[in-house]
Amino acid sequence: MIRVLASCIGKYKLDSLLAPFFVVLEVVMEVLIPFLMADLIDNGITVGDMAYIEKLGLILILCALLSLGFGALSGFFSARASAGFSKNLRKRIYDQIQAFSFANIDKFSTPGLITRMTTDVNNVQQAFTMIIRVAVRSPIMLVLALVCSVRLNGALSLVFLAALPILGVGLYFIMTGAHPYFTKLFKAYDHLNTVVQENLRAIRVVKSFVREDHETEKFHGTSGEIYDFATHAEKLLVLNNPLMMFVVYGSMLAISWFGARFIVAGTMTTGELVSMITYTMQILMSLMMLSMIFVMIVMARASAIRISEVLTEVPELANPASPLETVADGSVRFENVSFAYAGKGHPYCLKNIDLTIPSGSTVGILGSTGSSKSTLVQLIPRLYDATEGRVLVGGRDVRDYDMEVLRDSVAMVLQNNELFSGTIKENLRWGDKDAADAELVEACVLAEADGFIRSFPEGYDTHIEQGGANVSGGQKQRLCIARALLKKPKILILDDSTHAVDTATDAKIRASLRRCLPETTKIVIAQRVASVEQSDFIIVLEDGEIVAAGDHDTLMKTSEAYRETALSQKKGDDFDAAETR
Amino acid sequence: MPPKRADISAAAMKEKPDMATVKRLLRYVFAGGYGPRLGFVVICIIMTVVASVVSSLFIRVLIDDYIVPLTRAADPDFSGLIRMLCVVGAVYLGGVLAGLIYNRMMVTISQGILQQIRDDLFAHMQTLPIRYFDSNSHGDMMSYFTNDTDTLRQFISQSLPQLFMSCLTIIMVFCAMIYMSPLLTAVVVVILALMLLVTAKVGGLSGRYFFRQQRSLADLNGYIEEMVHGQRVVKVFCHEEEATAEFAEKNETLYKNATTANILGNILMPIIGNIGNLQYVLLAVVGGALALKGAGGLTLGIIASFLQLSKSITNPVAQISHQASFIVMALAGAKRVFRLMDEESEEDHGYVTLVRGREENGTFTEEKDGAWYWKHPHHDGTLTYAPLAGDVRMFDVDFGYTPEKTVLHDVTLYAYPGQKVAFVGATGAGKTTITNLINRFYDIEDGKIRYDGININKIRKPDLRRSLGIVLQETNLFSGTVADNIRYGRLDATDEEVVAAAKLANADGFISRLPEGYNTVISGNGEELSQGQRQLIAIARAAVADPPVMILDEATSSIDTHTESIVQRGMDQLMKGRTVFVIAHRLSTVMNSDVIMVLENGRIIERGSHEDLIRAKKTYYRLYTGASELE
């Protein structure tokens, strides 16, 4: 894991090494200053040697300036190193996601990937900055200050022998004691999010049932939970500060007492006493910082693991060695295809599919939710690879094609489709980035989108908000269809992509597709018999198997399942279907 | 394990902090009944600062009053020192205890304020009109409760006490210095001025870049979110290269801003620290020289004390510059939070309420289990009671979601108690809009809506809505048990009533088959249940409320005919004996209605029973016979 992440440092390696290097130099200077100061007080001020004071004073000023310089340099390099590291890290994850197949994306889930690229990268970056600066600084400071204090006065530095364990043990108990509360706190935050999200989604239900007070009470419960866990956790955590003060003051008292005795006895000087007090602060602060870094690294570890999972994931699909660059026609064949999302040995969601679709035909696919309709068509543009058997497009195995060539020929309108922020034109040009305005309009006319686009004040230049939030569901689906049409595909797949479009418009779209794209193979997944009954043939899927195939008339005669569905939808249980007959 | 530093939300980055926000935030802090406790915190902070200043001053006493005389004494007596150490020890202990107390108190205070803010926010959000929820994204609204309030935590529990403590320390240290040696204090003042100058310059610059960094981070994260959400589309369209190019550009911008911001931020600390070191050295040299000349009564102890004091003045300066960015962030968050609190609540000038009772011989007595009545106070102080019947009429209603565009024109309709009214028409014809007006999710522009003869504007909204049941096409459930979800319709419903409602809705069958029956816990989006089962629960939820008027939005049909027919039967049961407005998709529903309203572009173009409309041979007839398409 560390090797994977470390490789992201890339060209910022020099910065990453110089940063801790200058930190070390800075620490050396900082520890040196009190040491020299003791000398200055004892051999300059106490004895009254002005020349010595001036000499050491100059050296000390030089030390301070050097320390400033080193500190600034380490700050400079560490800023470059950590910003560069996180830049590379983001890029690596992003590139990796671009190379992912659908199966890889399924594995991590969309929110999972987003968290990794935002929060997790942030955590790891902060830990990285800490490591190249503070994680180097604190232990070295601790050791050097200890060494200097022992050299100043070995006997007096025994005070640290008592102080350090007290502080260390105290910090340990605080951190371990607070940890479980923080875990609970994060859960409580999730809970709060759920309550708010459900409330927002169901606000119409809340208002209809006049449950505003009930909801507020429910919310008060979770906000109370957060209050409880947060106060528990933080009350422990804020003990850090008084504990530190307690140990510092205790050490000061001990040093004052023993120091006074040593000085009176003549085994120590006043200057040494002053410097010892400075070292006390340096040593104890270092330990405190060290404990904080430790916690930070532990926290970042979970993020680092999640990121390296993405980086080490092998993209499932790869181009063949010498890929085919053209697709002959829009014919599709499934040869004994079986498919399991998790791979061989896992439950199959497609079983022994044999299917031939001639180029230019219109095929309807019917089946209830969970019958694997979408899975079936996703094998055609090779969004997944068949687990067994093979899928052929234009007479060749899909695995022989260059993926880009294949996917350019197979346009698919996904069930849950997305538009991107930008103008309508920009969104449409995803299909063909060189398309002329006239072509855009043509595609939109076919997809029944031209009318509503023109009703917008800015027409085709209307800005679409993220996720297409400012157009209705049906408008979004029609835009998505137009976008797919612009690819001028050999095969067009509509995966239940008109369910938010009213039935009449839906029928119009299907009619114009049939009329204007005779060459293109059209595969339509639908819930309503009416949407597919005019297809050249219809496939009925059930639990991943083809239970019936044929044209409408044949199926009405041969397939009981189809007949029942068709009749129940038609016999007046579905007014919408009746409308479009 | 310290809590994560709150990430500022992208939306908050656009806010400019101002004094009004500061004032309002402080009002929250001081008005929440925390006044006495805050006063105590202030005392505790003063005590900790005193202890820390004493610890520096003690060095002078130690050296000048004890060590130096003791070294000269022939027979050193340490009892005086012991007493002194005891006194100082007591002050230290007081400081530590005060620190302990105020830190812990600040935790309860800050978390208490945060909870108060969250609760107020949520309670206020519940009062906002539907229109507000239509026009604001859920993600954005959620961050009010997490990111935005969390930035306040840092501000209240850390920044505020730190600021106070730092200022106090600077003042006290300064006084102590002047008391000991005005001459050496002059040296400190010069250096301190230099330090403040540099801090202000570099700190200000770094603050500006820090904001730029946060803004480009928010921009990049927004882009990542959008692209990863649309990743499958990116794949299908082979759009990887373009997506990568734009990403690289944003990533580079972030890199540049982050580097500049962090270089400035990183060098601020060494600069302050080492100016402190310079000051330390200068004090020793100047102090030494002065002591040699015997000027200003400088002793070794004073110099040593000064050295220590100069350290305790550097830290607060660093602290203040460190807290500045948190304060700005917190104010941005607070501004957003207050903006939501300032959103106007749904207006409700209604005064007619719903009560239960009995009417006998013209006198009305309110009773817990009586029938429902409208209680109507009049201008002359009299009260009239009218039974809740479920008679809904609309007269010449016009409505538009925005003032520029009217979507409903001249809608007039009657529904007598117990009648079923079906709305038929293409998407966007205005079917849902009409139902949204009846329960006053939106208010009409022109015309009148009367419920049992009362203008609905006169009915208190909660009472109006309580008298209307609703089953939406999109089923929204809440995390909790199945029984909890059904009981949402009427919170005091008994278990028997819940089961009875489920039976009525045809839902009892599948619920009993669930592993834990009615106590099965489901998540909000109800992933464990099928769409049909969720609808059944929603129907049961409406059934347990048992309102006289129902608004139903039928689901469009799906291939799963089995569940569909179960849902259908549940709906039919629910409709019995009630006034029903149904947005119909099924021919059977339409045919069983008493009145059918055919809508087109926000107008009712045809109305009547199925037979009437068939006889009329107009739009409905053409739809029915399939001769025409809805458009």
pLDDT in tens, B72-103: 877 778 888 888 889 999 999 999 999 999 98
Q: Are B439 and A208 a contacting pair at CB < 8 A?
A: yes
Confidence of residue B360 (pLDDT cuts 50, 70, 90): confident
Q: Are A253 and B89 a contacting pair at CB < 8 A?
A: yes
Q: Please give the CATH architecture assigned to the domain spanning B392-625.
A: 3-Layer(aba) Sandwich (3.40)
For B413-448, how does the pLDDT look when each residue is reduced to its tens digit (9 = 90+)?
Answer: 888 888 999 998 776 678 888 888 998 988 888 899
Q: Could you write out the DSSP letters of every residue in B64-91? A: IIIIHHHHH-SS---HHHHHHHHHHHHH
CA B249 to the chain's CA centroid? 33
Residue A263 distance to chain B (closest CA, Å): 7
Which pLDDT score is estimated for A135? 84
CA A334 to the chain's CA centroid? 36
Which pLDDT score is estimated for B514? 86
Which pLDDT score is estimated for B188? 86
* Weakly modelled stretches of chain A, pLDDT under 50: 571-574, 576-581
Chain A contact present for B220, CB below 8 A: yes
Q: How far apart are CA A290 and CA A348, in angstroms?
A: 52
Chain B residue whose CA is closest to A190:
B146
Which amino acid is residue B116, in one-letter code?
Answer: Q
Number of other CB atoms surrounding residue B99 within 10 Å: 26
Q: Are A41 and B530 a contacting pair at CB < 8 A?
A: no
Which pLDDT score is estimated for B559? 46
B466: nearest Cα among A208, A203, A204: A208
Q: How far apart are CA A312 and CA A301, in angstroms?
A: 16
B377: nearest Cα among B347, B355, B393, B402: B355
Interface of A with B in 244-283 (CB under 8 A): 245-246, 249-250, 252-253, 256-257, 259-261, 263-264, 266, 270, 273-274, 277-278, 281
Q: Report which secondary-structure segment, H or E, holds B606.
A: strand B603-608
Q: How far apart are CA A441 and CA A82, in angstroms?
A: 48
Tracing tokens 């180097």 back to the chain, one arrives at: A136
Which pLDDT score is estimated for B14? 57
Q: Are B224 and A68 a contacting pair at CB < 8 A?
A: no
For B324-350, how does the pLDDT look when each residue is reduced to its tens digit (9 = 90+)?
Answer: 777 877 888 888 888 889 988 888 888
Beta bridge partners, A245, equal none
Helical H runs in B73-159?
79-126, 130-135, 138-143, 149-153
Number of other CB atoms surrounding residue A289 within 10 Å: 18
Which pLDDT score is estimated for B30? 77
Give the SS3 label for residue A384: coil
Which pLDDT score is estimated for A209? 86
- Give the mean pLDDT of chain B: 83
Mean pLDDT: which of A1-10, B242-251, B399-408 is highest? B242-251
CATH code of domain B13-181+298-342: 1.20.1560.10
Domain spans in chain B, listed from the N-terminal domain onward: 13-181+298-342, 353-387, 392-625
Q: Max Cα separation, chain A?
A: 118
* Contacts across the A-B interface (CB distance below 8 Å): 477
Helical H runs in B488-618?
495-504, 508-513, 531-545, 561-575, 587-591, 610-616
Residue A536 distance to chain B (closest CA, Å): 20
ipTM comes to 0.83
Tracing tokens 């990542």 back to the chain, one arrives at: B224
Confirm if A388 and A431 have CB atoms less than 8 A apart: no
Confidence of residue B566 (pLDDT cuts 50, 70, 90): confident
pTM to 2 decimal places: 0.78
Q: Are A219 and B557 a contacting pair at CB < 8 A?
A: no
Average of per-residue pLDDT across B372-397: 89
For B594-620, how does the pLDDT look when each residue is reduced to its tens digit (9 = 90+)?
Answer: 999 988 888 888 888 888 888 888 878
Tracing tokens 């519940």 back to the chain, one arrives at: B126
When mean pLDDT is compared across A231-240, B6-15, B583-592, the lowest value belongs to: B6-15
Which pLDDT score is estimated for B296? 65
Q: How far apart are CA B145 and CA B126, in angstroms?
A: 14
Chain B contact present for A227, CB below 8 A: yes
Between B449 and B523, the more confident residue is B449
Chain B contact present for A20, CB below 8 A: no
Chain B contact present for A577, CB below 8 A: yes
Which pLDDT score is estimated for A369? 64
Confirm if B125 and B340 have CB atoms less than 8 A apart: yes
Cα within 13 Å of Cα(B468), Cβ side: 33
Buried residues in A274-287 as b, exposed as e (16+ CB within 10 A): bbbbbbbbbbbbbb
Q: How far apart are CA A473 and CA A359, in angstroms?
A: 31
Q: How far apart are CA B493 and CA B500, in angstroms?
A: 10
B536: nearest Cα among B560, B561, B514, B509: B509
Buried residues in A550-568 as b, exposed as e (16+ CB within 10 A): bebeebeeebebbeebbeb
A94: nearest Cα among B627, B426, B254: B254
For B103-133, how does the pLDDT look when each residue is reduced to its tens digit (9 = 90+)?
Answer: 899 999 989 999 999 999 999 999 998 888 8
Query: What strand order describes the sheet that includes A545-550?
Result: A410-413, A491-495, A521-526, A362-367, A537-542, A545-550
Confirm if B607 and B601 have CB atoms less than 8 A apart: no
Chain B contact present for A138, CB below 8 A: no
Q: Could you say which of A197, A433, A573 has the minimum Cβ distance to residue B138? A: A197
Q: How far apart are CA B168 and CA B46, in angstroms?
A: 8
Give the best residue of B100, B280, B478, B589 to mutate against chain A (max A CB count within 10 A): B478
Tracing tokens 């931020």 back to the chain, one arrives at: B265
Q: How far apart are CA B538 and CA B560, in angstroms?
A: 18
CA angle A508, A514, A520 (to 5 degrees): 135
Chain B contact present for A514, CB below 8 A: no
**Is the predicted pLDDT of residue B630 greater than 50, yes or no?**
no
Chain A contact present for B441, CB below 8 A: yes
Crossing angle between the packed helical segments A503-516 and A437-446, to the nearest 10 degrees:
120
Chain B contact present for A172, CB below 8 A: no
